[in-house]
Amino acid sequence: MGNKYEKIVALRREFHRCAETGWLEFETTIKIIKYLMSFGYEVKYGKEIHGERIGLPDNDIIEKHRDTISTDADFDVSEILDGYTGAVAILDTHRDGPVIALRFDIDANGIEESNDKDHRANMEGFASKNPNAMHACGHDGHIALGLAVAEQLAKEKHHLSGKYMLIFQPAEEGVRGAKSIVESGILRDADYLVSGHIGLGAEENEVVCGTIGFLATSKLDIYFEGKPAHAGANPEIGKNALLAASICALNLHTLTQFGSGMSRLNVGILKAGTARNIVPHKAFMEIETRGENEDINRLLLQKVHHVIEGSAKSFDVKYRVVEAGGAPAYNSYPEDFIDGLAEILKKKGMKVTIGKSLGASEDITYMMNEVEKNGGKSVYLMFGTKLAAPHHNNRFDFDESVLSLAYEAYLEIIRSLL
């Protein structure tokens, strides 16, 4: 598939260059839509594919990034530039058949790409042009795969039946975007959902069929607001948000012992205070929780809310908790369906493993649960490859031959579902 492969690689590198982080995938989305339209797709985008978005960047960041985008599209990009990013391509064959959804995530990481000379993106000229944004998790490859599959399906259109829905999802990092897409209702009729990821827990050349072990997770932003006072003259009239946040951080970290399974909590960021000699009246924290299953994460969150409220109460400060992201666990597993798909891939000579654990969070679980709740079936694949550096590292890169493998796997699975 030489020519096809070269096309996918070219696409991957094109999108690697314009890396954009979650909800800021302005150029990325516009590019994707243009490609999809050129393949003849009906494309949905903007508010119609979204419900409530969580974990949005601050307005000034959105505005600042918007100013860097030169848009000459012949469609209305205003909602996209307001952060309603992502796109859904629809191919309706108008012939009886299943509704098949595919999902590709499109956002980059908030990481400055390495400027090491021997980093391939530098050697071969496709490094991110955007400061503090880099495709360090392979989503550039996912976009390329999505477009390549889209092009191929469009070509085969007259031989296909059913309806195809290719979801280019924003803001997977921080597990934010899937919830909004699901809430738009677009997945309601899907009979099948197929998605996957380059790298992760799969070994080189291994295709994991039927990933399990998705952790339930919640991402919260916490704001404390007290009252400033001069720390020398009248400290007693201050209400100390820094101490509330400090005690909150400590107490939160005492909550993770569960007999029923693994749980995690991290206070990743804490910022408090305005000046050395002022009783600090503002504090901000970014935290996340994880649980081996839904119940653990839910109980952990209850405990988290007690600690936040109690910490604020202790220092008589106000607080606000903002949901900044989250993903459910995935407790279903359509065994026969997965086994069937695995057989098909094996027949194509692929090294297939069934039911390997992710041991992390991915907001695809929102979509999988949605589809299965309505009687559909879903599968999540992992495509093993050689990595230049771990995911989220500023020297991350992957062996691009994995793109061929994944492309073929997607097409085989789609064909098998008809």
Q: Which amino acid is at 281?
A: H
Taking CB under 8 A as the criterion, the residue among 92, 309, 335, 339 binding a second copy is 309
Closer residue to a second copy, CB minimum distance, 70 or 233: 233
The residue within the footprint of a second copy, chosen from 72, 96, 236, 336 (CB under 8 A), is: 236
State yes or no: residue 131 binds a second copy (CB under 8 A).
no
Of 62, 69, 360, 389, the residue at the interface with a second copy (CB under 8 A) is 360
Applying CB under 8 A, does 1 fall inside the site for a second copy? no
Torsion of CA 158, 162, 163, 169, to 10 degrees: -110
CB of residue 299 vs a second copy: minimum separation in angstroms?
6
The DSSP string of 250-277 is HHHTT----TTS-EEEEEEEEEE-S-TT
Q: Which positions from 181 to 210 touch a second copy by CB under 8 A, shown as an x/- string?
A: ------------------------------
Q: Kindly calculate the radius of gyration of the chain based on its CA atoms and give it in whole angstroms.
A: 23
Q: Which is nearer to a second copy, 155 or 306 (CB)?
A: 306
In the region spanning residues 239 to 268, those forming contacts with a second copy, defined by CB under 8 A, are 240, 242-243, 245-247, 249-251, 253-254, 256-260, 262, 264-268
Contact 93, 161 (CB under 8 A): yes
Residues that bind a second copy (rule: CB under 8 A) add up to a total of 65
**Shorter beta-carbon distance to a second copy: residue 83 or 280:** 280
Q: Closest distance between a second copy and the C-beta of residue 143, in Å?
A: 23
Binding mask 276-305 for a second copy (x = CB under 8 A): xxxxx-----xxx-x-----x--x---x--
Q: SS3 for 196?
A: strand
DSSP 8-state code for residue 305: H
| 61 is an interface residue for a second copy by CB under 8 A | no
DSSP output for 103-150: EEE--BBS-PPP--TTSHHHHTT---SSTT-B--SSHHHHHHHHHHHH
According to the binding rule CB under 8 A, does residue 37 interact with a second copy?
no
- Cβ atoms of residues 86 and 49 within 8 Å: yes
Q: Is 275 in the site for a second copy (CB under 8 A)?
A: yes
Say if CB 19 and CB 128 are below 8 A apart.
yes
* Pairwise CA distance, residues 361 & 211, whole Å: 12
Q: Is 220 helix (H, G, I), strand (E, B) or coil?
A: strand
∠ CA 285-286-288, nearest 5°, is: 135
Q: Where along the sequence are the contacts to a second copy (CB under 8 A)? A: 110, 174, 215, 219, 231-236, 240, 242-243, 245-247, 249-251, 253-254, 256-260, 262, 264-280, 286-288, 290, 296, 299, 303, 306-307, 309-316, 324, 359-361
